[in-house]
Amino acid sequence: MNVQERLEQSAFSSDGATLLIDGEWRRARSGETLDSLNPATLEIVGEVAAGNAEDVDDAVRAARVAFDERRWTKLPPPLRAKILHAIADRIEAAVDELAVNEVRENGMPLPMARGTILGGAQAFRYFAGWIGKIHGQTGEVSHGEQFFGYTTKEPIGVAALIVPWNGPFMMACHKVAPALAAGCTVVLKPAEDTSLNTLNLARITLEAGVPPGVLNVVTGLGSVVGAALVEHPDVDKVSFTGSTPVGRQIVRAAAGNFKRVTLELGGKSPVIVLDDADLAMTVPGVLNGIMANAGQACVAGSRLYAQRGIYDKLIQAVSDAAAKLIVGNGLHEGTQMGPVISQKQFDRIMGYVESGVSEGAELVTGGKRHGDAGFFIEPTILSRAPADATVVREEIFGPVLSAMPFDDLEWAIQQANNSRYGLAGGVYTSSLEKAHTVARAVKAGNFWINCHSVQDFWLPFGGYKESGWGRERGEMGLEAFLETKSVVARLY
């Protein structure tokens, strides 16, 4: 049976056998399951095993044995690279099925889902290219020529990878690919709201030739499975993408055995628009920066600071464009924005809109439920929000833009940096000097000039301040799964 046939028959299997441990699919020890809900229709599209600490123990043990037996690293580097390319081939071959599955579980529009699936395949191709190129250094030692020194790069060991629900398949690929390229073994924990398509990724890796135990998957609640993983004494590395409060919990839990930790956390990204900005470029950039994936993106440009000379015209244009966005089921042709992920998220976002208005912001457009079914929220623009308003300070993770006018660029930069987050930012201007001045001044790990959220795998991704620790993607993303060993040999 090929990958596409398998996806069609088992992508949303309801038998509950969704734990992958040592190459075998099985149910949770408790026998309990969790339903997966389509956020657009509220239909149950499948179920996954509700793993617990015992299941985590089994998965970590399998990963440890696979690592110690070198089931993965003893394979020649060209073969490991070939397997990663084979994973990418299989993802691309099944992109249509995988994209539909992603929409049914996450809600994003189908074209976006297709793009994220292909982005996952690209991750495997990029990191496959690093296999065989992971080298240390050699050099003389100051104690004399009878000594010779060199360094080696070695995989950290067992890596716990915890992925979010806003781009589940792609995010899993972005973590699994560098972990495997570095030579680690993996326990992957998908988000409880969006586990099913990640299981398809696991099936694909097995078909491509990844040995048993090298990639294990435990589904279940973050408070149960995620907590057990980050506290587990035999896990050497945790890579987590999610909220800042959970990131703090992970830091505390990882202290037990000083696990290496990479955290990609929240954001409240500022976008600064100067009077000389090209509106034809700026309006779609600002709009897509906040409304893409219904605002459920860590880099969403949720704070807009526009110079007073362009402010009214820009807000009117962005609001008009937002009001025309086609909101609906991601599987329907023409849909530009889907639902938010859950009732909990829906209520949270609507609460922020209410607080923004009550604290003095002007509601320009949106601010209500869209339709009468599913977790749909109208694209929402809040104008002239007070600088200290809750909607300006806290991450909303929804289709809500808070806009503020400014006269002095230094004030706008100061306000942009007046945040506990520092994940991303952007500026729109026709001035090369001002563009790079703002890029240098804004404290953020990712910054865009006259665009938003344009990324590539060689560019490291991560944040300043409470937006996280470390970097993903690029050479730094690979290094996050490696240890450096220094060796000195006496020759005579």
**By C-alpha distance, which of 378, 377, 290, 373 is closest to 38?**
373
Q: In the chain, which residues fall in CATH 3.40.605.10? A: 3-265+467-488
**By C-alpha distance, which of 20, 13, 23, 19 is closest to 31?**
19
Residue 298 is among the residues annotated as catalytic for this protein: yes
Rounded Cα–Cα distance for residues 470 and 462 (Å): 6
- Which of 264, 378, 395, 472 is the catalytic position? 264
Query: Using CB atoms within 10 A of its CB, is residue 288 exposed (0-12), middle (13-18) or buried (19+)?
Result: middle
143 to each of 54, 148, 151, 155, 312, how far by Cα in Å?
Answer: 51, 9, 17, 30, 69
Main-chain phi, psi angles of 49, to 5 degrees? -65, 140
Are 52 and 28 contacting, i.e. CB atoms less than 8 angstroms apart? yes
Q: Where is 488: in which H helix or E strand?
A: strand 482-490
Give residue for tokens 């639902």. 339
Would you state the structure tokens that stand for residue 217, as one six-digit string? Answer: 């998957």
Residue 17's pLDDT is what?
A: 79
Rounded Cα–Cα distance for residues 350 and 318 (Å): 20
Main-chain phi, psi angles of 116, to 5 degrees? -70, -35
Rounded Cα–Cα distance for residues 69 and 156 (Å): 15
What pTM value is reported for the model? 0.95
Are 129 and 81 contacting, i.e. CB atoms less than 8 angstroms apart? yes
Q: In the chain, which residues fall in CATH 3.40.309.10? A: 270-456
The 8-class DSSP code of residue 458 comes to T
**By C-alpha distance, which of 72, 388, 333 is closest to 215?**
72
The 8-class DSSP code of residue 275 comes to T
Amino acid at 130: W
Residue 451 is among the residues annotated as catalytic for this protein: no
CATH ID of 3-265+467-488, from 3.30.390.10, 3.50.30.10, 3.40.605.10, 3.30.1600.10: 3.40.605.10
Rounded Cα–Cα distance for residues 267 and 465 (Å): 10
Contacts of 333 (CB under 8 A, 6+ apart): none
**Bridge-based pairing state of the strands 147-155 and 215-217:** unpaired
Q: The dihedral of CA 50, 54, 56, 61: what is its sign?
A: negative
Would you state the structure tokens that stand for residue 118, as one six-digit string? Answer: 């292909």
The 8-class DSSP code of residue 337 comes to B
Amino acid at 67: F
Per-residue pLDDT of the chain (492 residues; tens, 9 = 90+): 554 454 444 444 546 678 999 999 999 999 999 999 999 999 999 999 999 999 999 999 999 999 999 999 999 999 999 999 999 999 999 999 999 999 999 999 999 999 999 999 999 999 999 999 999 999 999 998 899 999 999 999 999 999 999 999 999 999 999 999 999 999 999 999 999 999 999 999 999 999 999 999 999 999 999 999 999 999 999 999 999 999 999 999 999 899 999 999 999 999 999 999 999 999 999 999 999 999 999 999 999 999 999 999 999 999 999 999 999 999 999 999 999 999 999 999 999 999 999 999 999 999 999 999 999 999 999 999 999 999 999 999 999 999 999 999 999 999 999 999 999 999 999 999 999 999 999 999 999 999 999 999 999 999 999 999 999 999 999 999 999 999 999 999
- Which of 97, 173, 298, 395 is the catalytic position? 298
Residue 15's pLDDT is what?
A: 64
Residue 8's pLDDT is what?
A: 45
Rounded Cα–Cα distance for residues 406 and 383 (Å): 12
Are 91 and 117 contacting, i.e. CB atoms less than 8 angstroms apart? yes
Hey, how many other C-beta atoms are within 10 angstroms of the C-beta on 306?
A: 27
Contacts of 35 (CB under 8 A, 6+ apart): 44, 46, 47
CATH ID of 270-456, from 3.40.309.10, 3.30.70.20, 3.40.50.2300, 3.30.70.380: 3.40.309.10
Would you state the structure tokens that stand for residue 2, as one six-digit string? Answer: 């090929």
Are 366 and 322 contacting, i.e. CB atoms less than 8 angstroms apart? yes
The 8-class DSSP code of residue 344 comes to H
Are 439 and 234 contacting, i.e. CB atoms less than 8 angstroms apart? no
Would you state the structure tokens that stand for residue 60, as one six-digit string? Answer: 């970590």
Rounded Cα–Cα distance for residues 296 and 260 (Å): 27
Hey, how many other C-beta atoms are within 10 angstroms of the C-beta on 304?
A: 27
Residue 2's pLDDT is what?
A: 54
Would you state the structure tokens that stand for residue 397, as one six-digit string? Answer: 């993770």
